[in-house]
Amino acid sequence: MAYIEFNDVIKTYKMGEIEINALNGCSFSIEKGELVVILGASGAGKTTILNILGGMDSSSSGKVIVDEHEISHYNENELTDYRRFDIGFVFQFYNLMQNLTAKENVELAEQISRKPLDAATVLKMVGLKDRMDNFPSQLSGGEQQRVAIARAVAKNPKLLLCDEPTGALDYNTGKQVLKVLQDMSFKEGMTVVIVTHNTALTAMANKIIHVRSGRVENIEINEKPEDAEGIRY
């Protein structure tokens, strides 16, 4: 069994009389430590996949297994614990606490984790050793996103889920952030899933899951992922 299995997942949203199948029989697997890019056009179902994987939403049918646990059978309490202890999230807009320094933002993770990593150590990992005592407003967008990554990583999660993590960043800053995410996987052994509509990101991943109309269209394995700093888009 793979570390993560998404098995024939269907997600139907009901809006009054209308039903929308955001996921329409979606299947893939992810191994521990893999860097995975989920690629697809707007509306393809990428965020829906990530939300179900992260326990923020549940599937209408199908099976989702993470580290031998069937999370598709979890009740609300189990899902809360799962989100708290097992999942790190990185969003397009960094969602930092503006009145806390970079280090204090990362330390927040310690309060909701059983086995947190040291905030200063993780901030060093993302290249912000010298900016720990700055407030978000004193940091660039890319630096703020690296703080957000550090905060997610400091929880020491099983899975780091990133939804368009470079969506709000310029080209070079975006690449620095992607490099940090790639290092988390390749150097630290973390399982990292990045959702994007940017085809160029496929070059940096171990596995690329192409999603279209709520289904997996194709899965590519990349034997020789490129350094994130070298990709062009």
d(CA 180, CA 168) in angstroms, rounded, equals 16
**If binding is defined by CB under 6 A, does position 59 make contact with ligand ATP?**
no
One residue of 6, 39, 45, 192 binding ligand ATP per CB under 6 A: 45
d(CA 79, CA 56): 8
Distances (CA, A) of 176 to 39, 46, 112, 158, 214: 20, 23, 28, 23, 30
188 within 8 A of 125, measured Cβ to Cβ? yes
Minimal distance, residue 99 CB to ligand ATP, in Å: 30
Tell me, residue by residue from 29 to 58, as one string, x for binding to Mg ion by CB under 5 A and - for no binding: ------------------x-----------
In a 13 Å sphere around the CA of 221, the CA atoms on its Cβ side amount to 6
Nearer to ligand ATP, 53 or 106 (CB): 53
Residue for token pair 């990185």? 90
Q: Decide whether 47 or 144 has the Cβ nearer to Mg ion.
A: 47
Q: Any contact of residue 15 with ligand ATP (CB under 6 A)?
A: yes
Starting at the edge strand found earlier in the chain, the sheet holding 207-212 runs 87-90, 159-163, 191-196, 35-39, 207-212, 215-221
13 binds ligand ATP (CB under 6 A): yes
Q: Which residue has the tokens 């901030």?
A: 123
Q: Which residue in this structure is represented by tokens 């309060």?
A: 111
Check residue 157 for interaction with ligand ATP (CB under 6 A).
Answer: no
How many amino acids of this chain bind ligand ATP (CB under 6 A)? 13
Q: Which is nearer to ligand ATP, 46 or 175 (CB)?
A: 46
Within 179-208, which residues bind ligand ATP (CB under 6 A)? 197
Chain contacts with ligand ATP (rule: CB under 6 A): 13, 15, 20, 22, 40, 42-48, 197
Chain contacts with Mg ion (rule: CB under 5 A): 47
